[in-house]
Amino acid sequence: MKKTSVSLFFAFVLLVSLTAQDALVSGLDAYAKSDWSTAILSFRKALSSSDEKNRPETWFWLIMSELSSGDYETAMSEMERFTARYPADARNADLSYQKGRIKYTEGKYEESIQVLYRYLSEWPSHASISSAYYWIGECLYSTGRYEEASSVFRLVVERFPESVKGEAARYRLALIGQTVREDELLRLLKQSHEESLKIIEEYQRREKTYEQAMTAYQKRISEMIKDTRLGDLEKQLGDEKLRNSRLTDRIAVLESQNAELAAALTMTGAAPAAFPNSGKSGEESDSVERKRALEELRTKALTLENIYSDAPVEVSP
């Protein structure tokens, strides 16, 4: 009875072991064919029935399948659990490298650099050393740190000339050289454009200042010309008014003297002598001449006054 129970137990263990091995083989076959979903299912099945000896390998391939399928969150979680469960397992080197790759893929470039440098420090002789340096260079390149990236890519080319990343590193070096030249040209173009704008703005400012100065100068000249002509007209009008006043006074004196002479002639009973070749008396002729002279003076005075008050003043430009 006891022998039968022991036999059954060993048979069951053997069956489970064979089932786990079959699932592991199926998972590896699916992984080789990039059938990630089938590989994940197979590895999970193998993991649930595998013994402790085969468990690390099965778990490792499960993590790699999740990583390849793009399920980075699950893969990162499984990596942490694996490292905590098997801290001395050699596969931790591969997982550490893959952590850096995941950080790069997620755009967490600074974290990726830190993880990859830690990997290089802990496993300096691992097979993926050249690739780790390459991805550090890619992180630096993605953040625009071209000089640092160039140094890392050059290290890959010089220290690992046969590396699978050698050709990619050389391509990046050429691209960085071109990018640096383009950036320098863009910088010079931007600087030239800014200087051109400054020159244009300075020219426009000076042009505006010149126009304002010319406008003010022309206005001042116009005012000076206007003031000069007005002064001349006022002086001329004043002189004419003075002459008109003197003539008016002279006429008044002459009229007074004429009246006195006429009165004296009337008292003596004598008639005033007539001008030669004239049909008018001397008194009438003298009176007409005085009136004509007075009228001319008044007309001239009014003309000057109208010129001063109404006529537009022409200003020379």
Q: Domains of the chain by range and CATH?
A: 7-165 (1.25.40.10)
Q: Which amino acid is at 282?
A: G
Number of residues that this document lists for the chain: 317
Q: Check: CB of residue 40 under 8 Å from CB of residue 69.
A: yes
The arithmetic mean of pLDDT across residues 75-96, rounded, is: 95
Residues 6+ apart with CB under 8 A from 236: 304
Least confident of 26-30, 49-53, 102-106, 261-265: 261-265
Q: How confident is the model over 308-317, as pLDDT tens digits?
A: 555 454 444 4
Q: Check: CB of residue 239 under 8 Å from CB of residue 304.
A: no
Q: Check: CB of residue 17 under 8 Å from CB of residue 55.
A: no
Q: How confident is the model over 161-202, as pLDDT tens digits?
A: 889 999 999 999 999 988 767 766 677 777 766 666 777 777
Residue 208, pLDDT score: 78
- 3-state SS class at 87: coil
Residue 157, pLDDT score: 95
Q: Is 92 a residue whose pLDDT tops 60?
A: yes
Q: Check: CB of residue 153 under 8 Å from CB of residue 145.
A: no
Q: How confident is the model over 215-255, as pLDDT tens digits?
A: 877 777 777 666 666 677 777 777 878 887 887 887 787 77
Residue 13, pLDDT score: 35
Instruction: Establish how many alpha carbons lie within 13 A of residue 119's alpha carbon, considering only the half-sphere containing its beta carbon.
Output: 28
The DSSP output letter for 144 is T
Residue 315, pLDDT score: 42
Q: Check: CB of residue 64 under 8 Å from CB of residue 32.
A: no
Burial environment of residue 128 by CB neighbours within 10 A (0 to 12, 13 to 18, 19 or more): buried
Computed over every residue of the chain, the mean pLDDT equals 78
Alpha-carbon distance 286 to 183, whole Å?
A: 107
- Phi first, then psi: give them for residue 8, nearest 5 degrees: -60, -40
Q: Is 205 a residue whose pLDDT tops 90?
A: no
Residue 11, pLDDT score: 33
Least confident of 73-77, 155-159, 236-240: 236-240
Q: How confident is the model at residue 204 (pLDDT cuts 50, 70, 90)?
A: confident
Alpha-carbon distance 72 to 101, whole Å?
A: 10
Alpha-carbon distance 103 to 109, whole Å?
A: 7
Q: How confident is the model at residue 159 (pLDDT cuts 50, 70, 90)?
A: very high
Q: Check: CB of residue 58 under 8 Å from CB of residue 25.
A: no
User: Distance between alpha carbon 285 and the CA centroid of its chain, in Å?
Assistant: 96
Rounded to a whole number of angstroms, the CA Rg of the chain reads 60
Q: Check: CB of residue 249 under 8 Å from CB of residue 257.
A: no
Measured from the Cβ of residue 153, the count of other Cβ atoms closer than 10 Å reads 28
Residue 224, pLDDT score: 66
